[in-house]
Structure 1
Amino acid sequence: MKTTITLIALLCSNICFCQNLVLKGKIEDKNKESIPFANIALYQANDTISIVKGTASDLAGKYLLQDIDSGNYILKVSYIGYKTVSLPVHIIKDLTQNIILESDSQSLTEVVVEGKRSIRSIDKTSYTFTTTQIDKAKDGRDLIATLPNLHIDKTTNSLSTINGKSIMILINGIKATDDDLKLIPADKIKNAEIYDVPPMRYINDAENVVNINTKPLDTGWSGNLYGTLGQMFSNASFALSYVKGDNKFTINYGTHINMKRNIKDLETGHYNYQINNDNYTYDYFRESQTWGHQHNIGFTYSISKEKNYDFQIKAFTNTSNGKLNANKTIAFAQNELQEKRTGNLNDYTKSLVPTVDIYFSKTLPKNNSILFNLVGSYFDNEQNTHSAESGSTGFDDMMLINNQKKTLIGEFAYKHRFAKANLSVGYRAHLNYLTNELSNSLSENLQKENINTQKHYAYGEISGKFKPFMYRVSLGVNYDTQSEENGFHNFTFTPMLMAGYNINESNSIRLTYHSSTQMPDMLQMSDARILIMNNFYQTGNHDLENSHLQSWGLSYDLYLKKFSLSANLFYDYTSNSLFDSYQYGDNCVLYQTANAEKDIRRGGEFNINYTPWDFLRIGGSIGVSQQVFQPSKEISSFSYWSYPVSVYLSASYKNFSLDILQKFGGTFLSGLYKTGIEKVSYINLGYTYKKVNFGLQCFFPFIKDKYSNETIPGSIVYHKTDFHSKRKDHALALSISWNFSSGKKKASIRKKMDNYDSDSGLFKIK
Structure 2
Amino acid sequence: MAQNISGKLVDEAQQPLPYANVVLQTIDSVFVTGTTTGEKGEFKLQKIAAGDYRLVISSIGYQPLYLSLQGFERTADVGTLTLADASQELGEVIVTASSRVSRADQKLIFPSKKQISASNNGVDMLRHLMLPRLRVNSIDGSVGMTDGSSVQLCINGRKATKEEVTALLPEEVIRVEFQEDPGLRYGDAGAVINYIVRRYEVGGSFGYNGMQSLKSGFGNHNLTGKVNFKQSEISFYYGNRLQYFNEIWFDKNETFTFEDGSQYHRSQYAEANKKKNLQQWGAVTYNLQEADKYMLNATVGFSHYNDPDLRMKGKLYTEEFPNSVTDREEWNHDRNLSPYLDIYFQKNLKHKQFLALNVVGTYINTKNRSSYTELLSGEPVVDYYSGIRGKKYSLIGEGIYEKTFKDGGKLSAGVRHTQGYTDNDYNGTLQYSSQMKQADTYAYAQYNGKWGKLGYRLGMGVTRSWFQQIGQEDYETYSLNPRLNLTYAFNDQWSISLNGNVNTMNPSLSQLSAVEQFTDSLQSERGNPNLKPYSYYRSTFRLNYNKGKWDVGLRNQYNYRDKAIMPHIYREDDRFIHSYANHSNFQDWTVGLDARVGMLWDVLQLSGSIESRKYWSNGIDFRHTQHSIGWDVAATFMYKNFTASVEFQHNSDYFFGEVLATGEEAHAIDLQYRWKRLNVGLRMFNPFQKDYKRNEADWNKYAGYSYQYHIDDIARMICVTLSWNINFGRDYKSNNKKMQNSDTDAGVL
| 1:351-394: CA deviation from partner (whole Å, max 9, x where unpaired) | 11000000000100000010100111000100000111124993
Q: Percent identity?
A: 20
Q: Cα deviations across residues 535-593 of structure 1 (Å, max 9, x unaligned)?
A: 21011111111221001121111112211112111111101212222111233110112
Q: Take 2:550 and 2:457, find their aligned partners in 1: how far apart are those partners?
A: 27
Residue in 2 that maps onto 1:681: 667
| Deviation (angstroms), 1:270 | 2.7
Could you say which residue in structure 2 is the equivalent of 1:584? 571
Q: Could you list the per-position Cα deviations for residues 42-73 of structure 1 after superposition, in whole angstroms to 9, with x for gaps in the alignment?
A: xxxxxxxxxxxxxx978979559xxxxxxxxx
Q: Which moved more, 1:398-407 or 1:174-183?
A: 174-183
Q: 108, 121, 126: which is aligned to 1:126?
A: 108
Partner of 1:471: 456
One of 708, 715, 726 as aligned partner of 1:729: 715
Task: Please report how far the alpha carbon of residue 758 of structure 1 lies from its aligned counterpart in structure 2 after TM superposition.
Answer: 2.4
Deviation (angstroms), 1:128: 3.9
1:664–1:492 distance in 2 versus 1, CA, 3 Å: same
Q: Is the CA contact (8 Å cut-off) linking 2:336 and 2:366 kept in structure 1?
A: yes
- Which residue identity is paired with 1:369? F
What does 1:612-623 correspond to in 2, within 5 Å? 612-623=600-611
Q: CA deviation digits over 1:146-188, x for unaligned, max 9?
A: 1523576431246665676532221111123566556666565
| Alignment map for 1:165-314 (pairs within 5 Å) | 165-177=149-161, 180-181=164-165, 189-204=173-188, 206-217=189-200, 219-230=202-213, 231=216, 233-261=218-246, 263-288=247-272, 289-314=274-299
The residue type equivalent to 1:653 in the other structure is: Y
Structure 1 residue 498 displacement after superposition = 1.4
Contact preservation (8 Å) 2:200, 2:729? no
Which position in structure 1 is the counterpart of 2:75?
none
CA contact (8 A) 1:35 1:57 kept: no
Q: What is the aligned-residue RMSD (CA, Å)?
A: 3.0
1:450-529 aligned at under 5 Å gives the runs 450-484=435-469, 485-529=472-516
CA displacement, residues 289-321 of structure 1 (integer Å, 9 cap, x when unaligned): 431101122100010111111000000011110
Q: Deviations over 1:437-479 (max 9, x none)?
A: 001213xxx4211111111100011112222111010101011
Q: 1:341 aligns with which of 320, 326, 329?
A: 326
Matches within 5 A, 1:101-140: 101-108=43-50, 113-114=69-70, 116=96, 117-121=99-103, 123-129=105-111
Looking at structure 1, the residues matched to 25 and 146 of structure 2 have their Cα atoms a distance apart, in angstroms, of 30
Deviations along 1:626-647, one digit per CA (max 9) or x if unpaired, are 1111111x43x22111212222
After superposition, the C-alpha distances for 1:643-691 in whole angstroms (9 at most, x for unaligned) are: 1222222111221111212211442322112222333221111111111
Shift of 1:621: 2.3
CA contact (8 A) 1:154 1:697 kept: no
Matches of 1:167 and 1:240 in 2, distance apart? 25
Q: Deviations over 1:726-752 (max 9, x none)?
A: 231111211211121102223444201
Kindly provide the amino acid, as one letter, of the partner of residue 603 in structure 2.
Answer: F
Compute the displacement of 1:269 (Å).
Answer: 2.4
Query: Which residue number in structure 1 is paired with residue 22 of structure 2?
Result: 77
Q: Quick check: 1:508–1:557 contact (8 Å CA) kept in 2?
A: yes
Q: Is the CA contact 1:518–1:547 (under 8 Å) kept in the aligned structure 2?
A: yes
Contact kept? 1:603, 1:626, Cα under 8 Å: yes
User: Kindly tell me: are residues 251 and 390 of structure 1, through their superposed partners in 2, closer, same or farther at Cα, counting changes over 3 Å?
Assistant: same
Name the structure 2 match of 1:555: 542
Check conservation: 2:510, 2:527, Cα contact below 8 A. yes
CA–CA distance in structure 2, aligned partners of residues 80 and 151 of structure 1: 36
Are 2:596 and 1:609 equivalent residues in the alignment?
A: yes
Mark the runs of 5 or more structure 2 residues left unpaired by the alignment: 55-68, 71-94
Aligned counterparts, 1:734-753, within 5 A: 734-753=720-739
Q: Residues 449, 188 of structure 1: CA spacing in aligned structure 2 closer, same or farther, 3 A cutoff?
A: closer
State how far apart, in whole Å, the 2-side matches of 1:525 and 1:675 are.
Answer: 25
* Counterpart pick for 1:671 among 657, 667, 679: 657
In the other structure, the counterpart of 1:626 is 614
Q: Specify which of 659, 662, 676 is matched with residue 690 of structure 1.
A: 676
In structure 1, how many angstroms separate the alpha carbons of the residues matched to 2:717 and 2:125?
28
8 Å CA contact retained: 2:424, 2:748: no
Determine the C-alpha separation between the residues in 2 that align with 1:120 and 1:208.
15
Q: Give the AA of the match of 2:106.
A: K
Give 3-state SS (helix, strand or coil) of 2:672's partner: strand
In structure 1, what is the equivalent of residue 131 of structure 2? 148
Alpha-carbon distance between aligned partners in 2 of 1:432 and 1:622, rounded to the nearest angstrom: 42
The aligned amino acid for 2:194 is N
| Residue 565 (structure 1) aligned to one of 548, 552, 559 | 552
- Secondary structure of 2:425 counterpart: strand
- In structure 2, the residue matched to 1:396 is 383
Q: CA contact under 8 A between 2:553 and 2:594: conserved in structure 1?
A: yes
Q: Secondary structure at the match of 1:746?
A: coil
The answer to whether the Cα contact below 8 Å between 1:655 and 1:688 also exists between their aligned partners in 2 is yes
Q: d(CA) in 1 for partners of 2:555 and 2:389?
A: 45
Q: For residues 264 and 75 of structure 1, do their structure 2 counterparts lie closer, same or farther at Cα, with a shift above 3 Å needed?
A: closer
* Distance of 2:409 and 2:196 partners within structure 1: 20
TM superposition score normalised by structure 1: 0.84
* Aligned-pair CA distance for 1:617: 1.5
Distance verdict in 2 for CA 1:299–1:259, change over 3 Å:
same
Q: Secondary structure at the match of 1:608?
A: strand
The answer as to whether partners of 1:137 and 1:186 remain within 8 angstroms in 2 is yes
* Alignment size in residue pairs: 690
Report the Cα distance in structure 1 between the residues aligned to 2:230 and 2:441, rounded to whole angstroms: 39
Cα distance, 1:59–1:389 mapped onto 2, change above 3 Å: farther
Q: Deviations over 1:185-208 (max 9, x none)?
A: 65654432212113212123x322
State the match for 1:650 in structure 2.
636
Whole-Å separation in 2 of the counterparts to 1:606 and 1:380: 44
Distance of 2:115 and 2:583 partners within structure 1: 48
Q: Secondary structure at the match of 1:643?
A: strand
Alignment partners' CA distance in 1, 2:22 and 2:568: 63
* Residues 83, 104 of structure 1: 8 Å contact kept: no
Residues 232 and 732 of structure 1 are in contact (CA less than 8 Å); yes or no, is this contact kept in structure 2?
no
Larger deviation, residues 272-281 vs 590-599: 272-281
Residue 195 of structure 1: SS of its match in structure 2?
strand
Change in Cα spacing, 1:283 to 1:757, as seen in structure 2 (3 Å) is same
CA distance in 1, matches of 2:398, 2:25: 40
1:161–1:497 distance in 2 versus 1, CA, 3 Å: closer
Structure 1 equivalent of residue 584 of structure 2: 597
Deviation at 1:237, TM superposition (A): 1.1
Question: Which amino acid in structure 2 is aligned with residue 171 of structure 1?
Answer: I
CA deviation profile, 1:132-152 (whole Å, cap 9, x unmatched): 656776776665541523576
* Whole-angstrom CA distance in 1 between matches of 2:575 and 2:169: 60
Distance in 2 (alpha carbons) for counterparts of 1:294 and 1:165 = 24
1:357 is the counterpart of 2:342:
yes
State the distance in 1 between where 2:135 and 2:626 align. Answer: 30
